[in-house]
A and B are shown apart, each in its own frame.
Chain A
Amino acid sequence: MCLGIPGQVVELIDSEQMMAQVDVAGVKRPVNIACIVDEHHPPEACIGDWVLVHVGFAMSRIDAGEAARTLAILAELGDLQEEQAAMHEGAR
C-alpha cells in the first residue's frame, strides 16, 4: 500500500474526473492524476509524464531515469510482479 510504482501516462480517459491511462511496465490501468495537475501543468500536458503511482493515484512526477531505476529495484525485490497483479485484479 505504501509502495510507489513508476508508470507512464499514455492517454487521458476523463479530464473532468482527472483520470488517465497509465502504463506500469506493460500493465495498463486507469489512474487519478489530480495530484500532479496544476495551472502550469493541465491534464493534457500529463501525457508522456513518468509518475509515481500510489494506490491508483499519480502522486509525483519523476524523470525517466528515476522511473527505470525504481522499476528495476522493485523487480529485483519481487514487489513489481505483486503490485502489477494487485493493479490488474483491482481493474477488473
Chain B
Amino acid sequence: MKYVDEFRDPAKAKALVKEIAALREMITPHHQTPLQLMEFCGGHTHTIFRYGIEQLLPDWIELVHGPGCPVCVLPMGRVDDCVALAERPDVLFTTFGDAMRVPGSKKSLLQAKAEGADVRMVYSPLDALQLAKKHPDRQVIFFALGFETTMPSTALTVLQAEREGIENFSLFCNHITTVPTIKAILDSPDMRIDGFLAPGHVSMVVGEQPFRFVAEHYRRPIVITGFEPLDILQSIWMLLQQMADGRCEVENQYARVVPSRGNSPGLDAIAQVFELREFFEWRGLGSIDHSGVRMRPAYAPFDAEKKFAVPKLRITDPKSCQCGEVLKGSIRPWQCKVFGNACTPESAMGALMVSSEGACAAYYNFGDLQELLQRREKEAIPA
C-alpha cells in the first residue's frame, strides 16, 4: 500500500492530520465515537485505500464507504437484460470496460462475448455512435450507466444522433442519481453518519445547490471533495471544523473544478433527454424512489427499452450478503459473514466486491485479510 507520506507534500498531509487530531476535544463530547464520515463516491474510496488515508486518521474517526460506484450497485437482473440484448443477432452491444465483468445471474457481458455475442468496449458513447454509422445494418445499443457525471455525455450523444438522423443507435439507460440515494441513506433507521464528503465530479455537473438539503434538512455538514489524498484530508478537516463550530453547510473544497452552479450546458442536455423514474433498483440497497432516470418519450426511437423487448428480470440479492448494512455504515466490510470466504473479487456475491472501487474489494485487496478475518471471528464470540 502507498502512503501519503511518500507523495504529494508529506509535510502538508502531516500538518492536516495534526489539525484534524487537535479538533477532538471540540467534537467528541457532542458526537458518537467513532465519528462516522461517509465518502459517497467510488473514486474517493479508491484514493482512500490507495493512499492508506484511514490509517493516518485518529481512531475516533471512521470512514464509511458509500454506494457511489455505479458498477457495484448494478442489479444482477440489469446485467441479465444487457446479456439478453447483446445476444440478439441484429445487435451490436457497446459498453464501458468497467461493466464487462459484472456478474449477471448466469453470465457477464464478457462471457456472453466469449460465447459469440457482439459486445464491444468503448471509451465514449460517441464511439458507439461512430459504430452505428459504420454498421448501418446493425442495431447499436450503448449501455448507459453512471451517475450525473456521465449523464451529459450520453444525453449529448443522443441529441447528436437525432440531429444526424442515425436510426440504428439507442441507449439502454441505467443512469442513477446521487441526491435521492443520499436521502435514502439519511432516512434509513440504522443510519449513523455524522457528515458527508460529496462527490467531486457529480458536483461538477449538478453544482452545490442539490446538496443543501443534507445540511439544512438533515443537519449534517457536507463538503464537495477532490480526488487527491490531500483533498480528502482537507475535506475531512473542513467537516470537523463545521462540527466544532456547530455549523451545517455545503462547502466546496474542489472549487478549482466544481463551479458552484454546476455545468449549465450539461444540465440542459440532461433535462432535455432524461426524466426521473419513479424508482430504481440497486444492488445491496433495494429499490430507491427517484434514484434513476429514463429517456423522455420524445426520444423513444433512441430508447432500447422501447425499441426492443427487454426482459426486465428481477433477481434478488443473495440473502447472506450484507452490502446494504456496509453501505449505510452499520457494519464494516470485513464484519459481513461472507467477506473473504464465499465472497471474493474473483467470485463476488455482493455488490461491493464486484468492482475495485467497491468498499469490500478495497478492503480485500489493500487490507490485511487474515487479520480482518480473525477480528471478525473474535467479535462473533458472544460476550
Which residues in A have some Cβ–Cβ distance to B below 8 Å? 1-4, 17, 30, 32, 34-38, 52, 54-57, 59-60, 62-63, 66, 69-70, 73, 76-77, 86-87, 89-91
Contact = CB atoms under 8 A, between A and B. Distances in A.
B257 A62 contact: yes
B162 to A, nearest CB: 13
Contacts of A70: 227-228
Interface of B: 2, 7-8, 41-43, 50, 70-71, 96-98, 121-127, 145-147, 149-150, 152-153, 156, 160, 201, 204-205, 227-228, 256-259, 263-266, 269
Contacts of A17: 160
Contacts of A55: 96, 123-125, 150, 153
Nearest to A19: B126
Contacts of B8: 73
Given A2-B146, A86-B97, A59 B269 contact: no
A59 B146 contact: no
A78 to B, nearest CB: 10
A54 B126 contact: no
A32 B126 contact: yes
Contact of B257 (A3, A66, A73): A66
Nearest to A86: B123
A57 B146 contact: no
Contact of A35 (B2, B121, B266): B266
8 closest A-B pairs by CB = A56-B124, A90-B123, A90-B127, A57-B153, A86-B123, A1-B96, A35-B266, A55-B124
B265 A34 contact: yes
Given A86-B97, A90-B122, A2 B265 contact: no
A59 B123 contact: no
Contacts of B256: 62-63, 66
A41 to B, nearest CB: 11
A78 B353 CA distance: 21
Contacts of B269: 34-35
B123 A2 contact: no
Given A56-B123, A57-B152, A90-B122, 16 more contacts: A1-B71, A1-B150, A2-B42, A2-B43, A34-B269, A35-B152, A35-B156, A35-B265, A37-B265, A38-B264, A52-B204, A59-B205, A63-B256, A77-B50, A86-B97, A91-B123
Nearest to B267: A35
A36 B177 CA distance: 22
B236 to A, nearest CB: 18
A30 to B, nearest CB: 8
Determine which residue in B121, B149, B263 has the highest number of CB atoms from chain A within 10 A of its CB, and name it. Answer: B149
Contacts of B126: 30, 32, 56-57
Contacts of A77: 50
Nearest to B228: A73
A90 B50 CA distance: 28
A22 B125 CA distance: 17
Contacts of B145: 1
Contacts of A32: 126, 153, 156
Nearest to A17: B160
Contacts of B122: 90
B201 A90 contact: no
Contacts of A36: 265
A76 B201 CA distance: 20
A54 B151 CA distance: 10
A63 B56 CA distance: 30
Contacts of A2: 41-43, 70, 146-147, 149-150, 201
Contacts of B227: 70, 73
Contact of A56 (B2, B146, B153, B205): B153
Contacts of A90: 122-124, 127
B228 A4 contact: no
Contacts of B42: 2
Of A1, A36, A62, the most chain B CB neighbours within 10 A belong to: A1
19 contacts: A1-B71, A2-B201, A4-B204, A35-B152, A35-B263, A35-B266, A36-B265, A54-B150, A55-B96, A56-B123, A57-B156, A59-B263, A59-B266, A60-B204, A60-B259, A60-B263, A66-B256, A70-B228, A90-B124
Contacts of A3: 43
